Amino acid sequence: MGSNPTPNRTHNVRAQSFCPIENNDVEVGVTMEKVPEIYANSKIILSMAGSGNPWDYFKPSSKLTLRALHDGYSLVEIQRLFQVSEEELWERISLLIDANLVKKENEEYYPTFLIVDEEETKKTFHHAEKIGRIIADELSYGLEELKTEFSKLEISKEHAIDDLSLVLIGSKILDIGLLEVLVKDRTLLRPAPKRPSPERPDAQYYFFMIDGQPEHLGKYGEDSKDLPWENWTFVTFGQNIVKNRNNVPREKLEERCNEVLKKQKLEKPEDLAEELNVLILSREDSLAWRKTAKKVANQIFLKIKEKEKELLQFYNSLKVSRYSNNSLGEFMCWYIHIAYACAIDFLVEEKAIFIPDEKFGSLIIYTEGPQGLLAK
Check if the beta carbon of residue 228 is closer than 8 Å to that of residue 262. no
Check if the beta carbon of residue 312 is closer than 8 Å to that of residue 118. no
Beta-carbon count within 10 A of 324 CB:
17
**Average pLDDT score over the chain:** 88
pLDDT at 323: 74
Reduced to 3 states (helix: H, G, I; strand: E, B; else coil), residue 188 is coil
Over range 219-229, report the average pLDDT: 94
Cα–Cα distance, 150 to 156 (Å, whole number):
7
Provide the sign of the torsion angle of the four alpha carbons 69, 74, 79, 82, taken in this order. Answer: negative
Instruction: Read off the amino acid at residue 169.
Output: I
pLDDT at 24: 43
Of the two residues 325 and 341, the one the predictor is more confident about is 341
Lowest pLDDT segment from 41-45, 99-103, 271-275: 41-45
Q: What is the pLDDT of residues 120-138, one digit of tens each?
A: 999 999 999 999 999 999 9
Smallest CA-to-CA distance from 230 within 362, 361, 363, 369 is with: 369
Provide the sign of the torsion angle of the four alpha carbons 129, 175, 333, 190, taken in this order. Answer: negative
Q: What is the pLDDT of residues 166-223, one digit of tens each?
A: 999 999 999 999 999 999 999 999 888 899 999 999 999 999 999 999 899 999 999 9
pLDDT at 369: 80
Cα–Cα distance, 195 to 100 (Å, whole number):
5
Burial class (CB in 10 A: 0-12, 13-18, 19+), 28: exposed
Burial class (CB in 10 A: 0-12, 13-18, 19+), 279: middle
The secondary structure of residue 280, as a DSSP letter, is B
pTM of the full structure: 0.89
Cα–Cα distance, 240 to 359 (Å, whole number):
9
pLDDT > 50? residue 30: no
